[in-house]
Amino acid sequence: MARQLFGTDGVRGQANEHPMTADMALRLGQAAGQYFRRTGDHGHRVVIGKDTRRSGYMLENAMTAGFTSVGMDVFLLGPVPTPAVGLLARSMRADLGVMISASHNPYQDNGIKFFGPDGFKLSDDTEEAIEALVENGVPLAEARGIGKATRIDDGRYRYMEFAKTTFPRGQRLDGLKVVVDCANGAAYRTAPEVLWELGAEVVPLAVSPNGYNINDKCGSTRPETAMEAVCAHGADLGICLDGDADRVVIIDEAGVLADGDQFMGLIADRWAAADRLAHGTLVATVMSNLGLERHLADRGLKLLRTAVGDRYVVEAMREGGYNLGGEQSGHVVMTDHVTTGDGLIAALQFLSAMVETGKPASELARVFTAYPQKLTNIRYQRGTTPLEAASVISAIHAGEEKLRGRGRLVIRKSGTEPLVRIMGECEDPVLLDAVLGDIASEVTRFA
CA-to-CA distance for 421 and 373, rounded, in angstroms? 13
Instruction: Tell me, yes or no, if 103 is annotated catalytic.
Output: yes
Among 55, 69, 101, 103, the one annotated catalytic:
103
CA-to-CA distance for 146 and 110, rounded, in angstroms? 27
Residue 6: count other Cβ atoms within 10 Å of its Cβ. Answer: 23
CA-to-CA distance for 259 and 16, rounded, in angstroms? 33
CA-to-CA distance for 74 and 85, rounded, in angstroms? 13
The strand order across the sheet containing 248-251 reads: 201-205, 177-181, 237-241, 248-251, 257-258
CA-to-CA distance for 245 and 258, rounded, in angstroms? 17
CA-to-CA distance for 222 and 185, rounded, in angstroms? 13
Residues belonging to the active site: 103
